[in-house]
Amino acid sequence: EAMFSYALSEPDAGSDAAGMKTRAVRDGDFWVLNGVKRWITNAGVSEYYTVMAVTDPDKRSRGISAFVVEKSDEGVSFGAPEKKLGIKGSPTREV
């Protein structure tokens, strides 16, 4: 029993998936993701994150893959909570 958050939006692309800069590169049996996601609901509270990342830049929007990332995975960090005008029942942060 754990909560998921969805991580698509980025600082320079918003929710435009074709403009995302987060990359995923295969390293042996693992994938290494590098990038920043913004405005993520329940970031820091959720145990798991569905993170969108570019795996094949030549395919543009068709070269995007989804990854399940755990809060405890190496390199995962969270920004300060956003100051929001409304919707204060859940934190929104950078991942």
95 domain-assigned: no
The encoded tokens of residue 1 equal: 């029993």
- Domain tally, the chain: 1
Mean pLDDT along residues 48-71: 96
Beta-bridge partners for 31:
26
pLDDT score, position 92: 96
Residue 88 in this model has a pLDDT that exceeds 90: no
45 domain-assigned: yes
Mean pLDDT along residues 34-42: 96
pLDDT score, position 25: 97
Residue with tokens 């998936």: 17
Residue 86 in this model has a pLDDT that exceeds 90: no
| Full domain range(s) for residue 73 | 4-90
Give the integer Cα–Cα distance in Å for 68 and 58: 23
47 domain-assigned: yes
